[in-house]
Chain A
Amino acid sequence: DVKVTQSSRYLVKRTGEKVFLECVQDMDHENMFWYRQDPGLGLRLIYFSYDVKMKEKGDIPEGYSVSREKKERFSLILESASTNQTSMYLCASSTSGRYTGELFFGEGSRLTVL
């Protein structure tokens, strides 16, 4: 069964802490994405990567960075967490091609910053 696995389902962090969210996919997909989901705003793209060590900013990259050292792993880093980063974070992967096509999502990581 194909899978995107996010390391933590629920996290509680304090303002100013460094936060790592890890994501692993087992489908050999080229593309990986980090979205955040907020009520009334839908899914907004933070960063994506189309190849190892490659990354592109999405719509809301401020306050975040990413790392993709291996094809199957894509990490989201909050250098100094703030309360407005409290959200549901969703990792996804897809194959390359004519269309972005179907995204496969992980179960999400609910982050609360106090």
Chain B
Amino acid sequence: DQQVKQNSPSLSVQEGRISILNCDYTNSMFDYFLWYKKYPAEGPTFLISISSIKDKNEDGRFTVFLNKSAKHLSLHIVPSQPGDSAVYFCAASAPYDYKLSFGAGTTVTVRA
């Protein structure tokens, strides 16, 4: 059973507007969360992360919000650019756990 869920398989947004990607998790032991971006025929690359002691982390156009009580996190991309068109994976880990659990991914398409 997937412990990290991305319920929206795809998202289409106009260039310059905000993209909001959502992620839910079920394992209350998770305390570190990451977003990865993947282009076709390439491996995923790290985008941004957040630990459970924070509720927000910002890096340029990318902001991740964490709501621990709801077991929910979201990634905001503002403004969206054509180069942001990719698959975005949400991932989570528990303390001292070697591995990450990934969601199914959300494909973002930014329209010109």
Chain A residues with CB under 8 Å of chain B are: 4, 9, 31, 33, 35, 40-45, 48, 50, 56, 58, 90, 92, 96, 98-108
Residues A103 and B100 in contact, CB atoms below 8 Å apart: yes
* Residue in A4, A44, A99, A100 whose beta carbon sits within 8 Å of that of B43 in the complex: A4
Residues B43 and A105 in contact, CB atoms below 8 Å apart: yes
Residues B98 and A100 in contact, CB atoms below 8 Å apart: yes
Q: Which residues of B contact A96 (CB under 8 A)?
A: 98
Residues A40 and B98 in contact, CB atoms below 8 Å apart: no
**A-facing mask of B80-112, CB < 8 A → 1, else 0?**
000000000101010111111111110000000
Q: List 5 A-B contacts (CB under 8 A).
A: A42-B103, A43-B91, A99-B93, A103-B46, A105-B43
- Within the complex, the shortest CB–CB distance from B63 to chain A, in Å, comes to 18
Residues A48 and B98 in contact, CB atoms below 8 Å apart: yes
Q: Which residues of B contact A106 (CB under 8 A)?
A: 43
Interface size of B by CB at 8 A reads 29
Beyond A100-B97, A103-B100, A105-B36, 5 additional pairs, beta carbon < 8 A: A43-B89, A45-B100, A48-B99, A50-B98, A103-B44
* Residue in B41, B46, B89 whose beta carbon sits within 8 Å of that of A107 in the complex: B41
* Residue in A98, A99, A105 whose beta carbon sits within 8 Å of that of B44 in the complex: A105
Q: Which residues of B contact A102 (CB under 8 A)?
A: 34, 46, 49
Residues B105 and A58 in contact, CB atoms below 8 Å apart: no
- Taken together as a complex, chains A and B put the C-alpha atoms of A90 and B44 apart, in Å, by 9
- Asked if B22 CB lies within 8 Å of chain A CBs, one says no
- Taken together as a complex, chains A and B put the C-alpha atoms of A105 and B39 apart, in Å, by 12
Q: Which residues of A contact B32 (CB under 8 A)?
A: 99-101
